[in-house]
């Protein structure tokens, strides 16, 4: 039973399209995150939600919109996709924000987005 | 603001040799430091962490790291590399004020037979 699961695992699409990535965690955690990993493997946080409330919103274009229908789910919707959006997007969760203190981040396997 | 720098984007060792992956941090407060490992096509998983207390911390798969405040370092070591250790390794520091982990740029470890 996968703890943090993301779908789809691979996504290939054209510039200008809109796409969504879904994330679900069955760990009972309160806090969920989206990280972006670029082609050089650099990991940067995009958003975090604590119990459905947005708490971190890094300098991400507003074409990216996270949505948390409940604390077990955090989806990422991307409008008007651009070439530079090609990356691997990781969802993660932690018991609470304080879980970050102990490095208790549990990552999904990633969703590789390729924009053509 | 906290940050981490990993020295060397790629390290190659022979099987059985010592593994040393370098990480230096910058923090205005006592840091919480972590090493994560990413195997091919997988997410990251926590390898080990330093929060408080003993400066030499042991993790999974025989890895350990030592927190050295005077050198602002948190290098990762393993006495004897195994082929299965080939992966990407990330050092991270906790930004306690903002509730997030800040990752280094990663070091790819290759293990030669």
Phi/psi for B72 (5° steps) reads: 45, 50
Nearest chain B residue to A57 by CA: give it. Answer: B98
pLDDT per residue as tens digits for the range A54-102: 888 887 889 999 999 998 999 999 999 999 999 999 999 988 766 666 6
Distance from CA of A6 to the nearest CA of B (A): 11
**Mutate which: A6, A25, A43, vs B, most B CBs within 10 A:** A43
CB A104 within 8 A of CB A45: no
| Residue found by looking up tokens 């924000």 in the block | A97
| Dist CA B79 CA B39 (whole Å) | 20
Using CB atoms and an 8 Å cut-off, which of residues 52-91 of chain B contact chain A? 88, 90
- Out of A101, A104, A107, the one facing B96 most closely (by C-beta) is A101
The overall average pLDDT reported for chain B is 93
What per-residue confidence (pLDDT) applies to A97? 60
Nearest to A102 among B44, B49, B106 (CB): B49
Query: What are the strands of the beta sheet with B64-68, ordered from one edge?
Result: B3-7, B19-26, B73-78, B64-68, B56-58
Quote the minimal CA–CA distance from B80 to chain A in Å: 26
Nearest residue to B25 (alpha-carbon basis) of B89, B80, B88, B92 = B92
Q: How close, in Å, is residue B51 to chain A by CA atoms? A: 7
Q: What is the pLDDT of residues B36-66, one digit of tens each?
A: 999 988 889 999 999 888 999 999 999 999 9
**B63 three-class SS:** coil
Nearest CA to A2 among A31, A30, A22?
Answer: A22
């Amino acid at each position: 039973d996968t703890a943090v699961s993301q779908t789809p695992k691979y996504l290939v699409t054209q510039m200008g399209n809109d796409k969504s990535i879904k994330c679900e965690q069955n760990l009972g955690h309160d806090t969920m995150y989206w990280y972006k990993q670029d082609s050089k493997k650099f990991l940067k946080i995009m958003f975090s939600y604590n119990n459905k409330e947005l708490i971190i919103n890094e300098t991400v274009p507003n074409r990216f919109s996270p949505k948390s229908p409940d604390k077990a789910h955090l989806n990422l919707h991307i409008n008007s996709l651009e070439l530079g959006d090609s990356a691997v997007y990781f969802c993660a969760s932690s018991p609470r924000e304080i879980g970050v203190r102990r490095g208790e981040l549990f990552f999904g396997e990633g969703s590789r987005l390729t924009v053509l | 603001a906290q940050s981490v720098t990993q020295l060397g984007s790629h390290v190659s060792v022979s099987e059985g040799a010592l593994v040393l992956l370098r990480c230096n941090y910058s923090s205005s407060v006592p840091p919480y430091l972590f090493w994560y490992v990413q195997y091919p096509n997988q997410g990251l998983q926590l390898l080990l962490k330093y929060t408080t207390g003993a400066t030499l911390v042991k993790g999974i798969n025989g890895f350990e790291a030592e927190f050295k405040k005077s050198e602002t370092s948190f290098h990762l070591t393993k006495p004897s590399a195994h082929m299965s250790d080939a992966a990407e390794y990330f050092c991270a520091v906790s930004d306690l004020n903002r509730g997030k982990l800040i990752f280094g740029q990663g070091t790819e470890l290759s293990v030669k037979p």
